[in-house]
């Protein structure tokens, strides 16, 4: 996600508790199952919202971030294999190593795109997005680092001891330099006519360039694990994942959600650090996240290039505002974002309780609207042709934008059903 638009985060920021930063014991991390409120103390509506939030956390949020981090670990390992091959100097024409890395990139990215309906919490508060997902890739900054011996020496040192992780203000913290799209640039090559995406050869890049990309993969791995652990809590992820966080010095004092997990705020509202006073408020945040990513898909991911005005001062920037241009995954990315909305709103599993249970009970017409418009949005997006850069101004792109806008309107109606008030659009 390139930009973050949050209605509810503005409200939740007022509810953030100052004591969160007072945790000082590095090994005082929660383990075991999350607590929830006793049904006997809840209203009927709150019971519906509780069941929805429990299913949402356990069957959507947790598995999505686990899939993302599992594949990011494999990707980082494979990038090290590619670097070793480049250093050996005998794999110049080998594409199979890069193809395998591309498979892990694709798998991890699918989970990331399917997480974008819940970018509030750790992803936003720890600036993980847009750190790992800004575009377009800044090739000039990349070449500047490659040609700077001091920066490359620092990068190699931090890679060797496992401490390489990009934080705010570091020399590697530049827009469009880290994350998925840097790796996409290294792994995927467009054919001469730009119509197909293939794997690069190991020999297409220098050892220094592959060194940088291996470091980017390590950072992506660490950030992905942080996302999973920040939702679950440090003590609830695998020992192998905890070891990566330890090695990178990603500790609870810097990332307080690691102590008990951000999920605790939604699963046990009104207790301790009250980010959410009720399960209803957690459900409102869930829908707000869906509205935010629908806005992003329609107005930025598709809309920026589709609505670029030739001759305007911003035309070049808007025209080049294409996500995943080297892998030709733009359309897949857009669809996965809508899938993220469906998983959050309806549940990832057919048997899941969901916020739609409440919406359907109170206003079946609104429930049906979200059902039909989400499916229609995916179908409309699927009809846009790749490469998106060549088809952003096709009529089908405009039809897809309109379909996503209808979904967004339906979600706003659902938010109104849940909250009892009308959705108010916030200016950027």
- The phi and psi torsions of 188 (rounded to 5 degrees) equal -115, 135
> Using DSSP, how many helices (H) and how many strands (E) does the chain show?
20, 2
Q: Among residues of the chain, what percentage have pLDDT more than 90?
A: 78
DSSP-derived secondary structure letter, 306: H
Which residue segments constitute the domains of the chain, with CATH numbers given? 43-264 (1.20.1420.20), 279-419 (1.20.1420.20)
- Ramachandran region, residue 272 (left: φ > 0; alpha: ψ -120 to 50; beta: rest): left
Look at residue 330 in the predicted model and tell me its pLDDT. Answer: 97
> Is 115 a residue whose pLDDT tops 50?
yes
Spell out a b/e string for 356-379, using b for 16 or more CB atoms within 10 Å of the CB, else e. bbbbbeebeebbebbbebbebbbe
DSSP-derived secondary structure letter, 421: S
Look at residue 73 in the predicted model and tell me its pLDDT. Answer: 98
Look at residue 6 in the predicted model and tell me its pLDDT. Answer: 35
What residues contact 77, with CB distance under 8 A and at least 6 apart?
none
pLDDT in tens, 309-329: 988 988 888 888 899 999 999
pLDDT average, residue stretch 392-416: 98
Q: What is d(CA 392, CA 307) in angstroms, rounded to the nearest whole number?
A: 8
Look at residue 165 in the predicted model and tell me its pLDDT. Answer: 74
What mean pLDDT, rounded, does the chain reach? 90
Residue with tokens 């995927």: 188
* Contact of 181 with 133, CB cutoff 8 Å: yes
CB hemisphere CA count around 294 (13 angstroms)? 30
pLDDT average, residue stretch 27-47: 95
Strand partners, 189: 198
198's enclosing H/E stretch is strand 197-199
Q: What is d(CA 233, CA 258) in angstroms, rounded to the nearest whole number?
A: 5
Confidence of residue 169 (pLDDT cuts 50, 70, 90): low
* Contact of 54 with 353, CB cutoff 8 Å: yes
Look at residue 383 in the predicted model and tell me its pLDDT. Answer: 98
Look at residue 89 in the predicted model and tell me its pLDDT. Answer: 87
Q: How far is CA 187 from the centre of its chain?
A: 20
Report angle CA 381, 338, 65 to the nearest 5 degrees: 135
């Amino acid at each position: 996600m390139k930009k973050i638009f949050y209605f509810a985060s503005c409200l939740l920021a007022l509810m953030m508790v100052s004591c969160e930063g007072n945790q000082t014991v590095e090994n005082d991390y929660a383990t075991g199952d999350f607590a929830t409120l006793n049904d006997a103390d809840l209203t009927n509506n709150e019971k519906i919202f509780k069941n929805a939030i429990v299913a949402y956390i356990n069957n959507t949020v947790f598995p999505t971030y686990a899939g993302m981090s599992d594949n990011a670990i494999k990707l980082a390992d494979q990038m090290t294999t590619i670097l070793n091959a480049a250093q050996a100097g005998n794999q110049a024409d080998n594409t199979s190593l890069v193809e395998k890395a591309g498979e892990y990139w694709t798998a991890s990215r699918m989970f990331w795109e399917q997480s974008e309906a819940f970018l509030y919490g750790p992803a936003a508060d720890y600036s993980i997005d847009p750190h790992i997902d800004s575009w377009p890739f800044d090739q000039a900054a990349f070449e500047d680092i490659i040609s700077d011996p001091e920066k490359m020496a620092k990068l190699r040192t931090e890679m060797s001891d496992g401490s390489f992780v990009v934080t705010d203000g570091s020399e590697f913290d530049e827009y469009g330099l880290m994350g998925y799209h840097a790796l996409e640039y290294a792994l995927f090559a467009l054919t001469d006519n730009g119509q197909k995406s293939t794997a690069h050869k190991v020999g297409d890049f220098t050892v220094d360039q592959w060194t940088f990309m291996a470091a980017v993969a390590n950072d992506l791995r660490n950030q992905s694990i942080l996302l999973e652990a920040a939702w679950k809590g440090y003590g609830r992820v695998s020992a192998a994942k905890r070891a990566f966080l330890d090695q990178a010095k990603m500790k609870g004092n810097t990332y307080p959600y690691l102590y008990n997990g951000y999920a605790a705020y939604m699963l046990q509202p009104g207790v301790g650090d009250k980010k959410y006073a009720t399960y209803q408020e957690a459900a409102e945040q869930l829908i707000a996240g869906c509205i935010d990513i629908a806005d992003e898909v329609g107005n930025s991911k598709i809309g920026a290039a589709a609505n670029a005005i030739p001759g305007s001062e911003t035309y070049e920037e808007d025209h080049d505002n294409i996500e995943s241009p080297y892998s030709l995954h733009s359309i897949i990315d857009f669809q996965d974002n809508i899938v993220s909305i469906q998983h959050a709103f309806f549940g990832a599993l057919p048997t899941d309780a969901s916020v739609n249970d409440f919406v359907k009970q109170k206003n079946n017409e609104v429930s049906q609207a979200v059902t039909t418009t989400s499916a229609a949005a995916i179908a409309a997006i699927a009809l846009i042709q790749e490469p998106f850069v060549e088809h952003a101004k096709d009529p089908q792109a405009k039809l897809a934008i309109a379909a996503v806008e209808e979904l967004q309107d339906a979600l706003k109606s659902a938010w109104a059903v849940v909250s009892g008030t009308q959705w108010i659009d916030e200016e950027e």
